[in-house]
Chain A
């Protein structure tokens, strides 16, 4: 189900397939929908960030997102990844499903201490798990902090490709596409193309690569 939804998002970002509607892919009445939306996070709404490609289906989309937010709030002891992915979904709802009633909750606080303190392999792993937050204009503060560790994220990309961890590589490639100064010798464009060729059968990999291309023009 998550794979199908990710495929739907990736197709929409590539401008292929039927016009995207979240509530068309993940139906409100389906018991697994809240979990799927929570896992996709902000990416569930990513096609709405593309002009003219998708039109939010008002109340139905809103209901699907509200359901997910209500079902899986991060607990007090939630991991940074859990807190941030939740926040990403809230931020995306604000950005792409405006004017909801009642209003969307304010984005909850999520810590960023790890961005500075994590050794680079751990930082890279975490950042890749938060790749949906690379969706512009979400998480500007996080993006700015990660920009301070661009080289370390690029090292993570290299390590991930060499380990054939395509999902981690794609997530990091997507962040590097958003950040202003990915090292030139990394070869980000051919790197993303390589990851797509090697690991693109995983819909989540395809989604990240499609997002890097759609929103940042990288990976051609």
Chain B
């Protein structure tokens, strides 16, 4: 992998700029009145859930206080939109066997934001035999398992056994990865490491596999200008022990970020005047950029401080013996 020094200034500018755009997009994140009935969850719950997931992490882990402060504000906004969790009680009563309300609730529960009625509901629904059936794919199952862990529920399956069935766990030929499989691999890593909070959960074997092949994938999707996947691959790179840093890749992602902070999902910035269309085209990549730059910033600080200088806020931290190059 290209060895290079990170540019903390660039990384911080990217996070600030992304968060600035997200601040301005609060109106689009706001949940409509029909969110629990006929609204399209891909345009309502999914964006809000992502906002919560990633701003929670940035709000706790970013080394700069001003950035943490902005991120915490967005996270509080998201919780407020769920009406302090009441939304989840409604969603679960409407669809008691769906996993997505549990996955979304997990984001808030791990931050200590609980709703007593939701806690009781999920204790009942997640202990059913029916809850243990396989999800659409193994990567999604990892997401459900991670949510159960966050909420403090008994995990319905063995995490390692499910991981072994995923696109990451199977160590597929790296040249056989298509776009969908690439998103699968990034999310396998995110669920396994709790979105970079527990990077030591990445086994030496998986870390070595990723260290070898991430540069190829990154180069491929940089060429295709698929910016959200580029951001996800950079985030995964930052999860590796002694994370390598590719300054050229970061610069290319920075160049894709518009002056207003938005990052298009693909190619050049969309030219539409419709704010909803712009939001849909940009919110995901913009969040991912802020997230990836935060993880890369943490990795850069660790590289600076040496192996024992990790951020104590990272649960579990990291020890040198967890590097894949260790005996």
Residues on A lying within 8 angstroms of B by beta carbon are 119-121, 151, 154-159, 161-163, 169, 183, 185-187, 190-191, 194
- Label chain A's interface by main secondary structure: helix
- Of A119, A156, A185, A190, chain B has the most CB atoms within 10 Å of the CB of A185
- Residues from chain B with Cβ under 8 Å of A157 in the complex: 175
Q: Which residues of B contact A161 (CB under 8 A)?
A: 175
B173 within 8 A of A: yes
Contact A186 B220 (CB under 8 A): no
> Is A119's CB under 8 angstroms from B2's CB?
yes
Contacting A183 at CB < 8 Å: which of B177, B212, B220, B223?
A: B212
Q: How far is the CB of B250 from chain A (nearest CB, A)?
A: 15
Interface residues of B (CB under 8 A from A): 2, 171, 173-177, 209, 212-213, 215-217, 219-220, 223
Could you tell me the distance between the alpha carbons of A194 and B216 in the complex, rounded to whole angstroms? 18
User: Is B212 a contact of A151 with CB atoms below 8 Å?
Assistant: yes
Min Cβ gap A37→B in Å is 32
A162's contact among B209, B212, B220, by CB below 8 Å, is which?
B220
A155 touches B171 (CB 8 A): no
Of listed B174, B176, B177, B212, residue having the most chain A CB within 10 A: B174
A155/B216 in contact, CB under 8 A: yes
CA distance A187 to B209 in the complex (A): 12
CA distance A158 to B212 in the complex (A): 11
Which of A119, A121, A154, A187 is close to B212, meaning CB atoms less than 8 Å apart? A154
B2, A158: Cβ atoms closer than 8 Å: no
Q: Give the residues in chain B near A156, CB-CB below 8 Å.
A: 216
- The reply to whether A185 and B175 form a contact with Cβ atoms under 8 Å apart is no
CA distance A215 to B177 in the complex (A): 29
Query: What is the minimal beta-carbon distance from A162 to any residue of chain B, in angstroms?
Result: 5
**Chain B residues touching A, majority SS:** helix
Listed A/B pairs (29) with beta-carbon separation below 8 Å: A120-B215, A121-B219, A155-B213, A155-B215, A155-B216, A157-B175, A158-B174, A158-B175, A158-B216, A158-B217, A162-B175, A162-B216, A162-B217, A163-B223, A169-B175, A183-B212, A185-B171, A185-B173, A185-B209, A186-B174, A186-B175, A187-B173, A187-B175, A187-B176, A190-B173, A191-B173, A191-B175, A194-B175, A194-B176
> Which residues of chain A come closer than 8 Å to B219, judged between CB atoms?
121, 155, 159
A-B contact count (CB 8 A): 49
Q: How distant is A116 from chain B, measured CB to nearest CB, in Å?
A: 13
CA distance in complex: A163, B216 (Å): 11
In the assembled complex, which residues on chain A have CB atoms less than 8 Å from the CB atom of B217? 158, 162
Min Cβ gap B291→A in Å is 25
- Bound-state Cα–Cα, A156 to B175, Å: 10
Report how far A147 CA is from B223 CA in the complex, Å. Answer: 27
* Alpha-carbon separation in the docked complex, A162 to B173 (Å): 11
**In the complex, what's the smallest C-beta–C-beta distance from A110 to chain B, in angstroms?**
26
Using Cβ atoms and an 8 Å threshold, which residues of chain B touch A187?
173-176
Q: How far is the CA of A162 from the CA of B177 in the complex (A)?
A: 8
**Chain B: minimal CB distance from A96 (Å):** 33
User: Which residues of chain B have C-beta atoms less than 8 A from A191's C-beta?
Assistant: 173, 175
Given A121-B219, A162-B220, decide whether A155 and B175 contact each other with a Cβ distance below 8 A.
no
A163 touches B173 (CB 8 A): no
A174 to B212, CA, bound (A): 19
CA distance A158 to B2 in the complex (A): 16
Query: What would 19 more interface pairs be, CB under 8 Å, given A120-B2, A158-B217, A159-B220?
Result: A120-B215, A155-B212, A155-B215, A155-B219, A156-B216, A158-B174, A158-B175, A158-B216, A162-B177, A162-B216, A162-B217, A183-B212, A185-B173, A185-B209, A186-B173, A187-B173, A187-B176, A190-B173, A191-B173
Q: Across the interface, which residues of B come within 8 angstroms of A183, CB to CB?
A: 212
Expressed in whole angstroms, the Cα–Cα distance for A187 and B175 within the complex equals 9
Beta-carbon nearest neighbor of A158 in chain B: B216
Question: Smallest CB–CB gap between A166 and chain B, Å?
Answer: 12
Which residues of the partner chain B approach A169 to less than 8 Å between Cβ atoms? 175
Residue of B nearest to A161 (CB): B175
Bound Cα distance A61, B185 (Å):
53
- Chain B residue, CB-CB nearest to A121: B219
The 10 closest A-B pairs by CB, nearest first: A187-B173, A161-B175, A158-B216, A155-B216, A158-B175, A159-B216, A158-B174, A162-B220, A185-B171, A155-B215
